Amino acid sequence: MHIDLNPKLDFRDVLIRPKRSVLSSRFEANISRSFRFRHSSQAWTGFPLIASNMDTVGTIEMAEAFRPFGALVALHKFYDPERLAQYLDRHENPNVFLTVGTGAADWERLAAVKAQTRVPMLNIDVANGYTENFVRAVGKLRDENPDAIIMAGTVVTAEMTEALVIAGADIVRVGIGSGSVCTTRDLTGVGYPQLSAVIECADAAHGLKGHVCSDGGCTVPGDIAKAYGGGADFVMLGGMLAGHAECGGELQYVEEDGRQVPKSMTFYGMSSETAMNKYHGGVADYRAAEGKTVAVPYRGEVRATVETIAGGLRSAMTYMGAENLKEVPKRTTFILVNAQRNTVFD
Ligand code: 5GP
């Protein structure tokens, strides 16, 4: 048994200290960033925000809505190959990752899409990125897709980040147990505070010319600024994007003035009973659900939410004196706090 006595931080444990800067307005803060990757020779430029490959938020409708912002969507893996190929064909620079797990059916689906069109970005997604089998799968995916931008995860520690980068990942997804509809920590006791996971994994990845995506745990736009401040190159969101018109959740309506108006929408973890019933014919005997199902208020089109996120980030950059996203971690000083904000009107 071993105890790590170093403090580990979540987004809620810190604030970003403001700094004197030459930026005169938030319009000078540029949230578009250009990347070169460790393995893929493709360059990518855009707003490095990614909708999670949960079937509720990782939708083609979300990808269409994200396009004007230059942001990305990890499409969920339950689309048929024709539909995926159609989206990829329609756009010269498709802003989507195609998602696979380690199972044969996913790889066959990917092969079926590749038979129809080029697949530039791939996301290999498992709940636990620590198995030898997963590392081998990342290596195989790289061998079979030498020039794809490959994202792989999830993990929360430096040594496993390094292993995935070396095995073939361009971007390592960081986060275990931090998700809004995740119950892994309750069920298993396993996890890692998200900000520290990002700081430690980013340091490991960057030394190897790899990148990291902070996945899970953002609850407000300020958390996204903190994730970039901790060294995240990309930030993935689930819960903050739930409940929008572009989502795949089921809508609940209420009657107002004789009309049916959308009131709330279901949102659930991909390891929840809801998801397992939908795609795997129920929860297998040997496992328990590690996700929950919630109803979130219906929020209309996602555009306004992305604008708020982008606006918050630009403002954060103005406070810290960062003209572009790459400068953000260099300009970030986190301060430990015991309260985030004034709660008098909560
Ligand atoms: P959020 O932005 O909602 O806090 O976190 C989204 C992330 O939660 C997803 O990208 C994924 O990594 C994780 N996640 C989604 N569904 C589940 C689940 O059922 N169980 C667990 N443990 N994590 C989940």
ipTM value: 0.99
Indicate whether 95 belongs to any domain.
yes
Q: How remote is the CA of residue 175 from the centroid of ligand 1, in Å?
A: 9
Q: What are the helix (H) ranges across 148-298?
A: 158-167, 184-188, 194-207, 221-229, 273-280
Is residue 218 exposed (0-12), middle (13-18) or buried (19+ Cβ within 10 Å)? buried
Catalytic residue among 182, 294, 296, 306: 182
Mean pLDDT of the chain: 96
Residue ranges at the known binding site for NADP(+): 212-235
Indicate whether 256 belongs to any domain.
no
Beta carbon of 210 within 6 Å of any ligand 1 atom? no
Choose among 324, 331, 292: nearest CA to 182. 292
Instruction: Extract the tokens encoding 28.
Output: 């000078």
Contacts of 45 (CB under 8 A, 6+ apart): 32, 33, 34, 35, 70
User: For this structure, is 201 an active site residue?
Assistant: no
For residue 280, what pLDDT is reported? 85
For residue 284, what pLDDT is reported? 77
- pLDDT reading at 107 higher than 90: yes
- Please state the domain count of the chain: 1
CATH number of the domain within which 173 lies: 3.20.20.70
Indicate whether 303 belongs to any domain.
yes
Indicate whether 287 belongs to any domain.
no
**Spatial distance between the Cα atoms of 212 and 333, rounded to a whole number of angstroms:** 20
Rounded to an integer, the average pLDDT of 268-288 is 88
Atom of ligand 1 nearest to the CA of 53: 10
Rounded to an integer, the average pLDDT of 219-232 is 98
Indicate whether 276 belongs to any domain.
no
Q: How remote is the CA of residue 344 from the centroid of ligand 1, in Å?
A: 31
- pLDDT reading at 265 higher than 90: yes
Q: How remote is the CA of residue 180 from the centroid of ligand 1, in Å?
A: 6
Looking at ligand 1, which residue's alpha carbon is closest to its atom 21?
Answer: 182
Indicate whether 225 belongs to any domain.
yes
Indicate whether 236 belongs to any domain.
yes
Q: How remote is the CA of residue 130 from the centroid of ligand 1, in Å?
A: 17
Q: Are 167 and 142 in contact (CB under 8 A)?
A: yes
Task: Tell me the pLDDT tens digit for each residue of 3-20.
Answer: 999 999 999 999 999 999
Residue 286 pLDDT class (50, 70, 90 cuts): confident
Query: How far, in Å, are 50, 90, 168, 169, 210 from residue 149 at the CA level?
Result: 14, 19, 10, 8, 11
For residue 289, what pLDDT is reported? 84
Amino acid at 321: G
Beta carbon of 57 within 6 Å of any ligand 1 atom? no
The pTM of the whole model exceeds 0.95: yes
**Which residue range(s) make up the domain with 304?**
17-246+295-336
Indicate whether 268 belongs to any domain.
no
